[in-house]
Amino acid sequence: MAEAEAKVQETKDASGNLVQYAADGGIALLTLNAPPANTYSHEMMQELDRAILAARMDESVHVIVITGSGEKFFCAGADISMLQSVTPTFKYYFCLHANETLSRLEQTPKLVIAAINGHCVGGGLEVAMAADLRVARKGAGKMGLPEVSLGVLPGTGGTQRLVRMVGKSRAIELMTTGELFDFERGAELGLVNHIYEAETGAAFMEQVLDYARQFTLPNKATHAVGRIKRAVQTGAEIPFESALALEREQLARRHQLDGARLADEAREPLRAARAGQHP
């Protein structure tokens, strides 16, 4: 009972006004909630950071899904009015914290899926690119990094994540033109994994959750999914030989966990005997 109450309290603590948090069936759903465009402020990033940590530390959560509230926007990036009212120093630390938050999302050894339910532009695309997989609702909006039209460059990882996904030349072209494109074009570029047709936002989210469930127990070995993600995300950023060593370490760690589990199962009859019970 105490454990259940603690889990309910943890969910309440992780869920805020700007980022709603819900966990069920092995999936944590994080919803950016700042209508109409779900733009993010420092306060939203703080709530997102807490929600990511809550999902990371919850052993019952195996997949994280991040989406936007409503049906028009996944996220339109940073709150421009907020950025125009703060000092250059605040902007720097705001971007630093946003970088740290999205890196935490990217490096969490649990699969992260961005459910793109509407326009996904600027910092919104930067959030989506920090996910491992991206699925979009057909015809729901556009995506791209149009910051150049405001006289600035992407500041929440866009210049670095986009180049790693589409290559240098194409990334430079997309960012310097500020092109906005549909999700089909995003799929061609490798930015979108799947596009779902859905009459409503609720129907789209049900499709997303069905997709996510294939990566949870009993459908997949969730620890293996997480370690694949970890090996790829970290390994892609280090020298090849070091990445191979990381892969071996992840595999060895998996074997150690399996060994510990089997040893624990072997000790179960002894524990039952000591308790005066039949195994």
CB atoms within 10 A of CB 161: 20
* Catalytic status, residue 126: yes
Closest CA to 171 of 157, 182, 150, 184: 157
| Bridge partners, 268 (sequence order) | none
Candidate list 10, 43, 100, 147, residue with the active-site label: 147
Candidate list 5, 71, 126, 173, residue with the active-site label: 126
Q: In which order are the strands placed within the sheet that holds 73-75?
A: 73-75, 119-121, 143-144, 180-181
* Catalytic status, residue 147: yes
Lookup result for tokens 């809550």: 54
- What token pair was written down for 196? 């779902």
Residue 49 contacts residue 104 (beta carbons within 8 Å)? yes
| Bridge partners, 24 (sequence order) | 27
Task: State the sign of the Cα–Cα–Cα–Cα dihedral 251, 257, 262, 266.
Answer: positive
Q: In the chain, where does DSSP find H-type helix?
A: 2-14, 42-57, 80-84, 88-107, 123-129, 158-166, 168-177, 183-189, 201-213, 222-235, 240-274
Lookup result for tokens 């998996």: 254
Q: What amino acid positions are annotated as catalytic residues?
A: 126, 147
